[in-house]
Structure 1
Amino acid sequence: MALDPALPVGRRIQYYRERAGKSRAVLAGLLGRSPSWLKQVEAGVLLPPRLPMLTRIAQHLGVDDLSLLTGDVSMPRALYSGMDHAALASVRRAVDGAPLGTAGGPAPRLDHIAVQLADAWRTRMTRGDHRTALAELLPPLVSAASVAASHPECTDRRRAEAMYASALNLTQMYAAFQGDGNLVWRVAERALATARASGDPQAIATSCWFLVEAFRKSGQWESAQTLTEDALRLLNPVRTENPELACAWADIAYHAAITHAVAGEAGDAWRWIDRAKAVSDALPADHWSAPTSGSRQAAALHSVTVAVELRQTGTALRWARRLPEADVIAVPRRGRHLIEVARAHALRGESEKVAERLTTAVEVAPETARWSEETRAMVRALIDGGPSDQVAGRRLADAIGMAA
């Protein structure tokens, strides 16, 4: 049977899965993913899997020609697999070079590491080319922090472990959406283990936030929600102690909202938005968490995402209008916000506004746009559109390094 050439990837996977006589649970298990993840892929709620996962799906379904799943023989690989930053190998070496036992040599000075760490987070917030900027800062920072956390003469081990966890959180931001998914998991899990060893609730909460992000991006929603609930229980007794802990609670609650939204659970998603907003609205006006963008502005930022995931485009755009772009202090987060707004316009079929928002996102934070799966998907849709859309799509493809 010949399939309609316009049939999307998800429906093609469903067709060949059913033809092979495999249930959704069986195929998901073979892929190491959850049935809910596969359901969302087949329904088109999630973007199509990247090329390595598509190859594994084809193998398990007995599909010899990958184009039967993609419907497009000329589909560029860059659309589905993250590009490696030029310095990824050096950052990976710093992560993998952490001492296995007690570190030797002189003990690193914790105050010096604190300055390095603050400089790295400030760089991440203020640079549109944040990956390139971080690539120079991360290797010495990660190495020093890992040695300090395991050195027998460390003067404050709890502080050293909390700083090492923070350096690993920053590394996850650098490594995300590149080709080495194993590195992302390695730093996310190591950060949480290190933070737990420190006993610092702020460090634990932030590392939970990053691991939840990894769970959700890989479609592991149940794991994401379980960890979210654990983090909220941990923070609940202490969240009134200071603005940082209150912000951490709100950040995790926003995670709960987004996870419910991705799963299509609108009522739960908006209830969590309301709970998180009540806390973040009470933060000091100038409060901004570098790792999570926790702030008074967070309600609008996350509400746009929740509404987009729920396909409530009018709501998404109303929230977007409430938040001037200049109020999003962190430059990469501002770029991400513009991409989310573009997604809302894409759901409405407003290709001209999609191109406008993406063009601005590239200008504001080029490396956020370049390593965004959603951006590549929208650029591909523009290229496949009418003549004027094709011009805009090819221009954007050139700007983000994607084959047009």
Structure 2
Amino acid sequence: MPELPPSLTTGQRIQRLRKARGISREALAGLVGRSAGWLKAVENGRLLPPRLPMLVRLAEHLQVDDLAELTGAFPLPVALFTGREHPALTAVRRSIDAASLAVADGPPQHLDYVAAALEAGWAARDSRGDHRTALGQLLPGLVGDVAAAAAHPEVADRRRAQVLYASVLNLVQMFSAYQSDGNLVWRVAERSLATARATGDLAAVGQSAWFLVQALRESGQWDSAQVLTEETLRVLDPHRANSPALAAAWAGMAWHAAITHARAGESGDAWRWADRAEAVARTLPATWWSSPTSASLTAVPIHAVTVAVELRQVGTALAWADRIDPRQIPARPRRSRHLVEVARAHQLRGEHARTAELLTEAVEAASETPRWNGETHQLVRGLLDGPATVRPAARSLAEAVGIAA
């Protein structure tokens, strides 16, 4: 196989390698569990390049040993993509490992105390820029307390204790995501949903399913993510008018459906689900905000930006971005992530200076969000290779997010 020109995009490289191996578009798409239309959109540049899990699957079937052949980048260790480990990860992991056998001596922990500690955890996650550090300090003790309460034979309200446990596990997933222990993410996501289902609390089920869908989609398992999304929507649908919590749970899952379809390049389905999510979000109180899932009226333009960016509909993404002042987003990590998404749109337009400005604002909003965010790292690397005018800002950003300049 001759060396590919460095100017080729990831999609063009996939197409060249596929043809060189004599594999049809339909055959390769089927081998990685996607449609031929999706692969055509990737090859033609109408979709963003696949993420690491899908690139690995494509590389396997294209007989590629180095992912640089697909990306055109210099070789990078996989650890750069799986994420660095937070200093508190070991302690959090140990608390989860011990929780299965959690047995407390004496009377059970008062559930009001556990609920207050959990509320403080979500509040810290929303309000602090160093939110992973804040959770790393709180979670080991909180996991032990709630696991022991849920298993205690004399607990006053076992159902409530289990709902609290499921929510704590979701908080653990927020802490552990994009770090070096994917196994921990899967364990807490699946345990949370199993615990929530056992309670029969539909709002808890919706919240836990939201987190498991997030894990499935980020690992490239789009079909599984969509199956779980649609099943959860079916379960919640008859009850969504009963309370804001259930309406928010339904809207959050509908946004999941929209984003997963967008990532697969299915524009019509993506925007149909976005419209349905927005319609339900508009039934929520104006001040409603779900810390775990961001489900709210405020989040409509936030999620719409992501849908449009995944579809590479840059004008639409920026039009939605104009509908919200990032300072209106109550959770600092979510504000930071939104700024990264808007930066992605400007990067697609080749607007390097504006991309750097937005990423700088994202770091200022919540420094530990872009530090553990793959899109941010890719954007910063692009700026480092970009015009000389943005390289000083790019070097500052590289230091802030922990990558080599």
Rounded Cα–Cα distance in structure 1 between residues aligned with 2:54 and 2:230 = 29
**Partner of residue 345, structure 1:** 346
Q: Could you tell me which amino acid in structure 2 is paired with residue 359 of structure 1?
A: T
The verdict on how the C-alpha distance between 1:9 and 1:97 changes in structure 2, with shifts beyond 3 A counting, is farther
CA RMSD of aligned residues (A): 2.6
Distance 1:292 1:389 in 2: 34
Amino acid at match of 2:349: R
SS at match of 1:288: coil
Shift of 1:29: 8.9
* Partner SS state of residue 192, structure 1: helix
Kindly indicate whether residue 27 of structure 2 is the aligned counterpart of residue 2 of structure 1.
no
Residue of structure 2 equivalent to 1:375: 376
- Please tell me the residue identity of whatever aligns with 1:98: A
Question: Equivalent residue for 1:183?
Answer: 184
Supply the AA of the counterpart residue of 2:231: D
Percent identical across equivalent pairs?
Answer: 57
Q: How far does the alpha carbon of each residue in 1:69-114 deviate from its partner, in whole angstroms, 9 at most, with x for none?
A: 45344546564231111111111111111224x8352322211111
How do 1:178-257 residues align onto structure 2 when only pairs under 5 Å count? 178-257=179-258
Letter in 1 for 2:89: L
CA distance, structure 2, for counterparts of residue 196 and residue 354 of structure 1: 42
Tell me how far 1:7 sits from its aligned partner.
2.6
Within the alignment, does 1:103 sit opposite 2:110 as a pair?
Answer: no
Residue in 2 that maps onto 1:124: 125
Aligned partners of 1:55 and 1:215: how far apart in 2? 16
The 5 Å alignment of 1:5-404 reads 5-13=6-14, 15-16=16-17, 19-20=20-21, 34-35=33-34, 39=39, 45-47=47-49, 49-50=51-52, 62-63=63-64, 67-73=68-74, 75=76, 79-100=80-101, 103-106=103-106, 107-404=108-405
Whether contact under 8 Å (1:257, 1:269) holds in the other structure is: yes
Contact 1:10 1:43 in 2 (8 A): yes
Change (3 A) 1:23 1:178: farther
When the two structures are aligned, how many residues end up with a matched partner? 400
The 3-state SS of whatever aligns with 1:264 is coil
Which string of whole-angstrom CA distances, capped at 9 and with x for unpartnered residues, describes residues 241-289 of structure 1?
1111111111111111111111112122112122111121121121111
Quote how far apart the aligned CAs of 1:117 are: 0.4
Conserved? CA contact 2:173–2:185, under 8 Å: yes
For structure 1, the residue ranges without an aligned partner over 5 or more in a row are: none
Displacement of 1:35 in angstroms is 3.5
Question: Residue type matched to 1:262 in 2?
Answer: R
Contact 1:99 1:150 in 2 (8 A): no
Q: 1:59 to 1:284 in 2, by over 3 A?
A: closer
Question: In the aligned structure 2, how far is the partner of 1:14 from the partner of 1:224?
Answer: 27
Q: What 5-or-longer segments of structure 2 have no aligned partner?
A: none
Distance, in Å, in 2 between the alignment partners of 1:292 and 1:99 is: 26
CA distance in 2, matches of 1:211, 1:25: 29
Q: Deviations over 1:281-313 (max 9, x none)?
A: 121121111101111112111111111111111
Q: Distance in 1 between the 2:217 and 2:159 partners?
A: 29
CA contact (8 A) 2:54 2:220 kept: no
Q: Relative to 1, partners in 2 of residues 1:13 and 1:314: Cα closer, same or farther, differing over 3 Å?
A: closer
In structure 2, relative to structure 1, the CA distance for the partners of 1:77 and 1:385 (3 Å cut) is farther
For 1:349 and 1:266, the matched residues in 2 are separated by 23
Distance 1:58 1:273 in 2: 32
